[in-house]
Amino acid sequence: MSQIIEPVLRLINQFSKLPGIGYKTAQRLAFHVINLSDDEVEEFAKDLFYAKKKAVFCPVCGNLMQKGEHACVICEDAARDAALVCVVSDIKDVLAIEKTREYKGIYHVLHGVISPMDGIGPDDINIAGGFSFCHNIVSFKFLLYPYQTFSERSHLSELALLVFLLQC
């Protein structure tokens, strides 16, 4: 029989649903929250709800943007090279590349990878979404991040080309 009371077990269960959070880490987070003041817990809960309500996907690239905006800050940046498109699997990849301050193109965020073994097909990720920028540009360069092995990169290049042809 568990020595942890049901409300705390429920909190542990919720934390353990987060990616990369195992049971022990979920336990530590739950006990941390229990030790916070009521005001701190209320502020934390409000910020969770606020982020969920206000963060939406950019209709151009799939990156995060604030609800009510036309596009994300990257797509709105006129200094970006719209003919240089970096196809990434996740928003975290955009953050990692942007941290370098070297890339000056735009992105297309897939929000996942095709994995037939896991039942994830092309319809389950953001392959066709966005690409509204392509109608005004004659020539494109596609970058795929992270760089894969040669055979995987070849497959991803074909996918990026297919996406481009479908949209333009």
Among the listed residues 60, 76, 75, the one whose alpha carbon sits nearest the alpha carbon of residue 132: 60
151: tokens are 């055979």
Task: Per residue of the chain (168 residues), give pLDDT as tens.
Answer: 479 999 999 999 999 999 999 999 999 999 999 999 999 999 999 999 999 999 999 998 999 999 999 999 999 999 999 888 888 888 999 999 999 999 999 998 988 887 788 888 777 887 766 555 555 544 556 566 655 443 444 455 456 555 554 555
Please give the domain boundaries of the chain with CATH numbers for all domains: 6-55 (1.10.8.420), 56-167 (3.40.1360)
| Separation of alpha carbons 92 and 45, rounded Å | 23
Amino acid, single-letter form, for residue 125: I
